[in-house]
């Protein structure tokens, strides 16, 4: 999503652009969540809708997304292990069924009328370049497909169109998922904007400096140039910027922290060899969503993606990530990638909550709604979440579990020992995929002991028995500021030694009637 809190370098308003004094709903953030919500609100004729966010979306996640419509392709051993994790997983399963109708609505607004759905199927490969985590998640994926009675078949990896890796990094197994494809993220965003403008939504190419309100309610947003828009309700759907924006009017210790998950991908034009006709990906591994390629149409292919939690939100990526993605796309997907022409460098910041769960729901101040924290699932879940939030803005019952409410204690899905084990597995996967070298006498067991010692040390320094996800644990281990922020939140929110699944509905007072 876009950055609505930082000063925009774009012209603040084009000549003649609308500068409304008020609106029924102001949506802060013009990524997938914000735009799908705006479309749902206008469909329901819920009054005037204003969407605020800079058009460049430089630091957002949506414009950089691969937009795979794959929930089973993302399955890990943790996806169904607890009730809470299963609830999060099923959010994606339900969202998947919303996309056919969404694409039918949007196709006529697509740029140059190009197809918005760029792939209708996926292939998941199991190669030997990672570590045991690949095997574990590959097996978990098949188990989940069977549990939910979804179609899949095991195929010869050599039969995957376009898949021609280096011999020593070839796949040992592969499965075909005929119901999990992908859409053109940038095309979908453009189509949504066109449809919304035609139907009367107001777009402001600006940033929001702060929210305006009292101890009881939020009444307006203040733009970077000082202009205020009074609002019946304000929905903050600003991705990784959402927490800091909410804190301009409500600074409470129990507000779930959001960390930037900086990711990098690239779109390249194929110059030789057979094209990919489906999504081709590895299982989730190495603190990320696995290596993948997504057809984009017109000879273009999206290669992604990296993931690293960082302290500072950025619109650029690291040279190491560029090297990683280029090299391993050539090695693990198609050797011909080396001669492809890169036409677009994509970077963005995924909104990562401390417990890995979205934050969707009313805040304690009347009229303020939070819609973020979706990590890697925001684009995929956007049509479903739009329906849910629209229901709640109308005072109706929501359609997703209240576990995602913003003012919650961290959701518990693992033990500390399990967290340490996950950290070790992801670290080993990253070690072997990147070809890291150690002394000849150093074994995998030695590496395991080393990473385990590092993880134990982090827990000792944090002084908590709340079990963190592997990506948050890595962030706390490698970033002093991050470790302090994690420890401070767990301590001040009363979660340092206690974590529970929240019960009941949110604590907020809801919208203004």
CA-CA distance, 26 to 227, in Å (whole number)? 14
pLDDT tens for residues 256-303? Answer: 999 999 999 999 999 999 999 999 999 999 998 899 999 999 999 999
pLDDT confidence tier of residue 461, bands split at 50, 70 and 90: very high
CATH code for position 129: 3.30.9.10
pLDDT value at position 505?
33
Q: Is the pLDDT of residue 489 over 70?
A: yes
Tell me which residue range forms the domain holding 154.
114-183+259-351
Task: Note whether 320 and 442 are same-domain residues.
Answer: no
* Contact present, 29 and 236 (Cβ < 8 Å): yes
Q: Is the pLDDT of residue 447 over 90?
A: yes
**What is the 8-class DSSP label of residue 201?**
-
Task: Note whether 317 and 459 are same-domain residues.
Answer: no
CA-CA distance, 361 to 508, in Å (whole number)? 8
**What is the 8-class DSSP label of residue 276?**
P
**Could you tell me if residue 188 is inside a domain?**
no
CA-CA distance, 176 to 163, in Å (whole number)? 13
| Average pLDDT, integer, range 300-325 | 93
Task: Note whether 333 and 438 are same-domain residues.
Answer: no
pLDDT tens for residues 238-265? Answer: 999 999 999 999 988 889 999 999 999 9
* Helix, strand, or coil (residue 124): strand
Question: H or E segment at 385?
Answer: helix 378-393
User: CA 135: distance to chain centroid?
Assistant: 24
**Could you tell me if residue 104 is inside a domain?**
no
List residues bridging with 125 in a β-sheet: 174
Q: From 351, 384, 402, give the residue that closes a domain.
A: 351
| Average pLDDT, integer, range 436-458 | 92
pLDDT value at position 325?
95
| Average pLDDT, integer, range 359-370 | 97
Q: Is the pLDDT of residue 453 over 70?
A: yes
Q: Is the pLDDT of residue 404 over 50?
A: yes
Confirm whether pTM is higher than 0.75: yes
pLDDT value at position 512?
66
Structure tokens at 419: 């967290």
CA-CA distance, 58 to 60, in Å (whole number)? 6
- The C-alpha angle 22, 186, 357, rounded to 5 degrees, equals 75
Mean pLDDT of the chain: 92
Task: Note whether 432 and 339 are same-domain residues.
Answer: no
**Could you tell me if residue 477 is inside a domain?**
yes
Structure tokens at 26: 């102001």
**Could you tell me if residue 372 is inside a domain?**
no
pLDDT value at position 297?
93
**What is the 8-class DSSP label of residue 157?**
G
pLDDT value at position 502?
32
Task: Note whether 174 and 269 are same-domain residues.
Answer: yes
Q: Concatenated DSSP letters for 287-315?
A: TBB--EEEEEETTEEEEE---EE-SS--S
Nearest residue to 220 (alpha-carbon basis) of 371, 42, 26, 13: 26
pLDDT value at position 478?
86
Among the residue ranges 72-81, 210-219, 307-316, 327-336, the one predicted with the least confidence is: 307-316
pLDDT value at position 510?
62
Q: Is the pLDDT of residue 343 over 80?
A: yes
* Contact present, 412 and 501 (Cβ < 8 Å): yes
* Contact present, 38 and 51 (Cβ < 8 Å): yes
Question: H or E segment at 192?
Answer: helix 185-198
Q: How many domains does the chain have?
A: 2
pLDDT confidence tier of residue 497, bands split at 50, 70 and 90: low
| Average pLDDT, integer, range 51-72 | 95
Q: Concatenated DSSP letters for 39-81?
A: HHHHHTT-S-EEEE--TT-TT-SGGG---B--SSTT--TTTTS
* Helix, strand, or coil (residue 271): coil
For the chain, the C-alpha Rg in angstroms (whole number) is: 22
**Could you tell me if residue 169 is inside a domain?**
yes
Look at 346 and 480; give whichever has higher pLDDT: 346
Among the residue ranges 229-233, 336-340, 441-445, the one predicted with the least confidence is: 441-445
**What is the 8-class DSSP label of residue 450?**
H
Task: Note whether 425 and 336 are same-domain residues.
Answer: no
pLDDT value at position 499?
40
CA-CA distance, 206 to 192, in Å (whole number)? 18
pLDDT tens for residues 414-429? Answer: 999 999 999 999 999 9
Task: Note whether 270 and 343 are same-domain residues.
Answer: yes
Which own/partner pairs from 449-457 qualify as long-range (CB within 8 Å, at least 24 positions apart)? Answer: 451/423, 451/424, 451/427, 452/420, 452/424, 454/423, 455/419, 455/420, 455/423, 455/424, 456/420
Q: Under 8 Å CB-to-CB from 183, ≥6 apart: which residues?
A: 67, 69, 99, 103, 116, 117, 118
pLDDT confidence tier of residue 16, bands split at 50, 70 and 90: very low
Task: Note whether 168 and 309 are same-domain residues.
Answer: yes
pLDDT value at position 496?
63
Q: Is the pLDDT of residue 370 over 90?
A: yes
pLDDT value at position 17?
52
Task: Note whether 343 and 435 are same-domain residues.
Answer: no
Task: Note whether 292 and 175 are same-domain residues.
Answer: yes
pLDDT confidence tier of residue 127, bands split at 50, 70 and 90: very high
**What is the 8-class DSSP label of residue 8?**
P
**Could you tell me if residue 134 is inside a domain?**
yes
Look at 502 and 157; give whichever has higher pLDDT: 157
- The C-alpha angle 94, 405, 228, rounded to 5 degrees, equals 105
pLDDT tens for residues 197-235? Answer: 999 999 999 999 999 999 999 999 999 999 999 999 999
**Could you tell me if residue 461 is inside a domain?**
yes
**Could you tell me if residue 380 is inside a domain?**
no
Task: Note whether 263 and 177 are same-domain residues.
Answer: yes
pLDDT value at position 436?
84
Q: Is the pLDDT of residue 326 over 50?
A: yes
pLDDT value at position 386?
98
| Average pLDDT, integer, range 121-131 | 93
Q: From 302, 329, 351, give the residue that closes a domain.
A: 351
- The C-alpha angle 325, 329, 330, rounded to 5 degrees, equals 120
| Average pLDDT, integer, range 57-67 | 95
Q: Is the pLDDT of residue 365 over 50?
A: yes
Structure tokens at 340: 């492809």
CA-CA distance, 84 to 501, in Å (whole number)? 7
* Contact present, 184 and 118 (Cβ < 8 Å): yes
For the chain, what percent of residues have pLDDT higher than 90? 85
Task: Note whether 347 and 423 are same-domain residues.
Answer: no
Terminal CA-to-CA distance of the chain, rounded, Å?
Answer: 29
């Amino acid at each position: 999503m876009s950055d609505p809190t930082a000063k925009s370098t774009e012209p603040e308003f084009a000549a003649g652009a609308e500068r409304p004094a008020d609106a029924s709903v102001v949506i802060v953030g013009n990524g997938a969540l914000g735009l799908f919500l705006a479309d749902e609100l206008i469909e329901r004729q819920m009054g005037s809708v204003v969407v605020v966010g800079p058009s460049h979306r430089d630091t957002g996640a949506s414009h950089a997304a691969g937009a795979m419509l794959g929930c089973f392709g993302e399955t890990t051993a943790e996806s169904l292990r607890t009730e809470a994790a299963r609830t999060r997983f099923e959010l994606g399963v339900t969202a998947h069924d919303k996309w056919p109708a969404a694409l039918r609505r949007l196709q006529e607004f697509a740029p140059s009328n190009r197809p918005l759905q760029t792939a209708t199927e996926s292939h998941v490969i199991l190669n030997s370049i990672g570590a045991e985590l690949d095997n574990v998640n590959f097996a978990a994926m098949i188990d989940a497909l069977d549990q939910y009675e979804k179609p899949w078949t095991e195929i010869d990896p050599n039969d995957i169109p376009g898949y021609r890796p280096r011999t020593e990094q070839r796949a040992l197994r592969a499965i075909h998922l005929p119901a999990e494809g992908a859409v053109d993220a940038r095309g979908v965003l453009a189509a949504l904007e066109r449809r919304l403008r035609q139907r009367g939504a107001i777009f402001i190419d600006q940033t929001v400096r702060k929210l305006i309100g009292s101890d009881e309610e939020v009444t307006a947003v203040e733009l970077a140039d000082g202009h205020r828009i009074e609002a019946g309700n304000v929905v903050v759907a600003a991705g990784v910027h959402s927490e800091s924006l909410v804190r301009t009017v409500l600074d409470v210790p129990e507000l779930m922290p959001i960390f930037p998950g900086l990711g990098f991908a690239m779109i390249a034009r194929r110059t030789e060899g057979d094209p990919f006709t489906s999504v081709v990906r590895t299982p989730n591994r190495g603190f990320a969503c696995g290596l993948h390629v997504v057809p984009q149409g017109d000879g273009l292919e999206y290669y992604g993606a990296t993931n690293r939690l960082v302290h500072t939100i950025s619109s650029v990526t690291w040279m190491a990530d560029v090297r990683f993605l280029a090299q391993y796309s050539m090695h693990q997907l198609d050797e011909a990638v080396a001669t492809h022409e890169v036409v677009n460098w994509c970077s963005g910041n995924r909104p990562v909550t401390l417990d890995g769960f979205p934050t969707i729901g009313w805040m304690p101040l009347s009229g303020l709604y939070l819609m973020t924290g979706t990590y890697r699932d925001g684009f995929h879940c956007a049509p479903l979440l739009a329906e849910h939030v629209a229901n709640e803005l109308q005072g109706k019952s929501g359609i997703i579990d209240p576990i995602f409410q913003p003012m919650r204690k961290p959701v518990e899905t693992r033990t500390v020992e399990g967290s340490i084990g996950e950290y070790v597995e992801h670290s080993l996967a990253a070690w072997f995929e990147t070809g890291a070298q150690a002394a000849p006498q150093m074994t995998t067991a030695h590496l395991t002991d080393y990473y385990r010692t590092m993880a134990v040390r982090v827990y000792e320094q944090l002084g908590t028995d709340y079990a963190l996800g592997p990506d948050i644990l890595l962030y706390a281990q490698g970033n002093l500021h991050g470790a302090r922020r994690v420890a401070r939140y767990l301590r001040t929110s009363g979660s340092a030694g206690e974590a529970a699944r929240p019960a009941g509905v949110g604590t907020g007072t809801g919208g203004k009637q």
